[in-house]
Structure 1
Amino acid sequence: MDLPKASGFKILMFPWLAHGHISPFLELSKRLLSIKNFHIYICSTAINILSIESFIKSNNLGDSMEAVELKLEPSVHLPPHYHTTKNLPPHLFRELLKAFQTTRSSFSDILATLKPDLIIYDTLQPWAPKLAASRGIPAVHFFVDGAASRSNDIHSNFPELLLNDFEKTSLGEEVKFLHNDMFEEGVMMSDFNIELSSEVVLFKTSWSLEGKYINYVSNSFNKKILPTGPLVKYQDSSSQDDNSEILEWLNKKDHHSTVYISFGSELVLSEEEVEAIAKGLELCEVNFIWVLRTKAIEEKLPLGFLERVKGRGIVTGWAPQAKILQHSEIGAFVSHCGWSSVTESVYFGVPIIGMPMRMTMVAGANMLVARGVCVRIPRKENEGYKGEDIAMVMRDVMFGDGGERLRCRAQELSEKMKMEEVEEMEVVANQLWKICLENQP
């Protein structure tokens, strides 16, 4: 049984305060609205609402989607412009995470005011589904990372995902502080979120990319896992919201001759990492577009670097990533292996040169290596990446036979992901509608 289209359900989206989380929630919302007559609210802090409202306006969703302000408790250490991970000094990340836990009262007020039929919640607020349950509202967890990384948390037997001892230690240090204030002793963060989810759990992935890992997580928790598809924002080549100079420069290069380098919208590279990448690019002599997020690019780079690579490289603070990855002149993507970046790369048929900067990204990178679409740059224990190793891997991928195999495999997966994504989203939309319908009095 289905409700008449005029009688839609209200969904409250509740992502973590990072662009890499908010963006998938927005794209999920847009696609759900193209299928079902939901009315969607997305709550975040005031500093994030500007970009959320821009998304709503640019996609003509004003009649069916609204932003709702989430209030953090005032803090002298964390003024309002730091109520987001964008441009947040690294030493304040834990402060923001702790402050986020103080939004329970604000979120409870939002629930009381909006009375949504369903909430869709992120990883770092396991109290959200509990608050929803106390009001009789079903809650579904949306995991914006891949199923392979989640499989690795369950002590899986997939040898391709296993971390070495150094990686295990580093990963343990990264996630240890997450459990201090938010989770019960001995309970894994993502275990808690999956167990609290109503009927299903959503994963930002595709069957063709991670089918066996989706099934493994599903069987481990006896919970239905639904992939949403990669939720890649397609950018038409005719649109003007880009840096046309970069694309004009790229148009003059040879087929598959250029490397795209980017480390996400929020990660800031250290001086040593910048120097290593610059050295690798000089040694390899490949064409490149490097997105370097800093206010003073020339000061951040080695002395004379821009002059030495003139004509074959561009270093910029921003670039239209989707348009670049769709471009036939791009032969590989050097990435930190953030999940949204690498799924976008595979979706457009571009192989990945992996430089995981955080240990939480390693399992996903290893999975992509096993799928034949990624090569990881080696990294020794207690050492950073070396320019010589970066050059060696880039040279092999861009100029060697192995690179062509990577590109063929990436293209195969790209075609499968594109074929599946419409059906995957229809399944998600119908399941969420069913949950709302069954919870009606």
Structure 2
Amino acid sequence: MEREKQESFKVLMFPWLAHGHVFPFLELAKRLSTTHYFTLYLCSTTVNLDSIKSSISSDDAAAASVKLVELQIPSPPELPPHLHTTKNLPSHLITTLIKTFQESSSSFSDIIDSLKPDLVIFDVLQPFAPKVASSKGIPSVYFSTSGSMPASYLHHLYTVGSGATFPFPAISLPDDELPRRLALLAQYMKDADDDFAYGALTRSTDIVLSKSSRHVEEKYADYLSALSKKQIVCTGPLIAADVNRHEDIEIMKWLNGKTLDSTIYISFGSECFLSKKQIEEIAKGLQLCDVNFLWVIRFPAEEVSGMSIRMIEEELPAGFLETVKERGLVVTRWAPQTKILGHPSIGGFVSHCGRSSITESMYFGVPVIAMPMNVDQPMNAQLMVELGVGVVVEKDHENGVYVGEEVAKAINKVMVEKNALYEGLRSRARRLSETMREKEDEEVNEVAQQLLKICAKNKK
């Protein structure tokens, strides 16, 4: 092991272009940079790299050991460079971005030739990446940013053909829903294998990384390992600290004026955009329950340039902002989510249950009021219920949408009704938070050791 003490191994990190993927890759790179074993290179588009520069510069260890590498992808007229990211991307351009991303394989190959990395850590939507790496004698490891539970369920569905026999009945989806969507994506991807997750697990060298805490998802990680014949190594929660911004002052000052556990935070992430009807129903729910709230409403990039408070008033029910002004704050810009969830006034999180959001809610001990929208979010909501740290807003049985009365009912369960459910949610959420924090350094150290073994073995 003498080499490891004398020389850093180069690791090229290559996430998909979504912020929910870029930031876990970045945070893992920052954690690995605290060792003397690795120099990390994070490869993405210019617009994504610009969004993370402040996060790296604020961390001395990361600034020294994490380098940013620009990926060149084409810019068709409908997808200019500022849209080379899923953040605020209009939904009709998602498949265009995926297809265009596949055309970056030659740029990625040139980057490997230039850097000569010892290891590539890749994401699911670029099956060309491990093939390019392998052709150059470089090992690669798949990093699942969606965690162990969704991957184990989908792998079971792929292997068996039905979710009915999944060994953990708390998790279920209609058998044709996600496989159909995943099959549609496959047609847009370069070098996708006819295998689970386009061959990502099969092509991963020795291990698969999973953005999860083993304490939270141990049974799912073990089952995924049995299905994939790969060791599943949990990275821990990988919570990034929000960089201080002047724009945060108003939000944090407002929260400082609220009492302990009195306020709900409402956010559906940077890629889930609510219809006018859905905004109106959530607003109706907030009017029906007497709790403080901080609501972040996002719009696609094409609508942001003309954003004004008048537009928000048009989206919300007439007079809503005036009615709730003493107990509610509506924000249309980016908001510091980890700062908000870590604030003592926050007692509940109305969330679409994206992976990063549920991880942050667990890490900060905040119960979730789940309103899953699509893809793997319903499974994430089911996990929160199974863990006893969340409730799900029921949809209207006739038209399958969320309605104000059910939003209010779920919020009241978490925030108002002082019963066994209320106390149990909070105590379980806090215990879960404590355990995740206790184990996170240990989990990252295990990741480092496993990656070190792969690099060292390939050099022999």
**TM bucket, shorter chain:** over 0.9
- Letter of the 1:418 counterpart: R
- Letter of the 1:105 counterpart: S
Tell me the residue number matched to 2:303: none
2:285 maps to 1:280: yes
Match of 1:62, SS state, is helix
Task: In structure 1, list runs of 5 or more residues that go unmatched.
Answer: none
Question: C-alpha offsets along residues 243-262 of structure 1, whole Å, 9 cap, x if unaligned?
Answer: 22222222222221110101
Task: In structure 2, list runs of 5 or more residues that go unmatched.
Answer: 158-165, 300-306
Give the drift of 1:46. Answer: 1.7
TM-score, normalised via structure 2 length: 0.90
Tell me the residue number matched to 1:207: 214
CA contact (8 A) 2:351 2:357 kept: yes
Q: 1:249 to 1:55 in 2, by over 3 A?
A: closer
Give the drift of 1:175. Answer: 2.7
1:10-409 counterparts in 2 under 5 A?
10-60=10-60, 61-153=62-154, 154-155=156-157, 156-163=166-173, 165=174, 168-182=175-189, 186-189=194-197, 192-234=199-241, 243-294=248-299, 295-296=307-308, 297-317=312-332, 318-379=334-395, 380=397, 382-400=399-417, 401=419, 402-409=421-428
Give % identity. 49
Give the drift of 1:6. Answer: 4.1
Question: C-alpha offsets along residues 96-131 of structure 1, whole Å, 9 cap, x if unaligned?
Answer: 111111111111111111110000001101111111
Give the drift of 1:51. Answer: 1.6
Match of 2:264, SS state, is strand
- Letter of the 1:431 counterpart: Q
Tell me the residue number matched to 1:421: 440
Match of 1:285, SS state, is coil
Question: C-alpha offsets along residues 12-41 of structure 1, whole Å, 9 cap, x if unaligned?
Answer: 000001111100111000000112331111
- Letter of the 1:48 counterpart: N
Give the drift of 1:173. Answer: 4.7
Give the drift of 1:320. Answer: 1.8
CA contact (8 A) 1:351 1:410 kept: yes
Give the drift of 1:80. Answer: 1.6
Match of 1:314, SS state, is strand
Question: C-alpha offsets along residues 397-435 of structure 1, whole Å, 9 cap, x if unaligned?
Answer: 111221221111111111111111000000101111111
Q: Distance in 2 between matches of 1:233 and 1:56?
A: 11
Give the drift of 1:440. Answer: 0.9
Q: Distance in 2 between matches of 1:55 and 1:247?
A: 20
- Letter of the 2:105 counterpart: R
Question: C-alpha offsets along residues 179-235 of structure 1, whole Å, 9 cap, x if unaligned?
Answer: 224365753326x11111001111000011111101110111111000000001245
Number of residue equivalences: 435
Match of 1:43, SS state, is strand
Q: 1:299 to 1:169 in 2, by over 3 A?
A: farther
TM-score, normalised via structure 1 length: 0.94
CA contact (8 A) 2:98 2:188 kept: no
How much is the aligned-residue C-alpha RMSD, in angstroms? 1.8
CA contact (8 A) 2:263 2:291 kept: yes
Q: 1:241 to 1:148 in 2, by over 3 A?
A: farther
Q: 1:285 to 1:213 in 2, by over 3 A?
A: same
Q: 1:100 to 1:382 in 2, by over 3 A?
A: farther
- Letter of the 2:89 counterpart: L
Match of 1:63, SS state, is helix
CA contact (8 A) 1:202 1:228 kept: yes
Match of 2:170, SS state, is helix
Give the drift of 1:381. Answer: 6.4
Give the drift of 1:170. Answer: 4.2
CA contact (8 A) 1:202 1:227 kept: yes
CA contact (8 A) 1:152 1:363 kept: no
Q: 1:173 to 1:386 in 2, by over 3 A?
A: farther
CA contact (8 A) 1:49 1:67 kept: yes
Structure 1 stretch 398-407 or stretch 336-345: which is displaced more? Answer: 398-407
- Letter of the 1:196 counterpart: R
Give the drift of 1:326. Answer: 1.3
Question: C-alpha offsets along residues 266-322 of structure 1, whole Å, 9 cap, x if unaligned?
Answer: 221111111111111001121100011143333322221100101100001232211
- Letter of the 2:407 counterpart: I
Match of 1:178, SS state, is helix
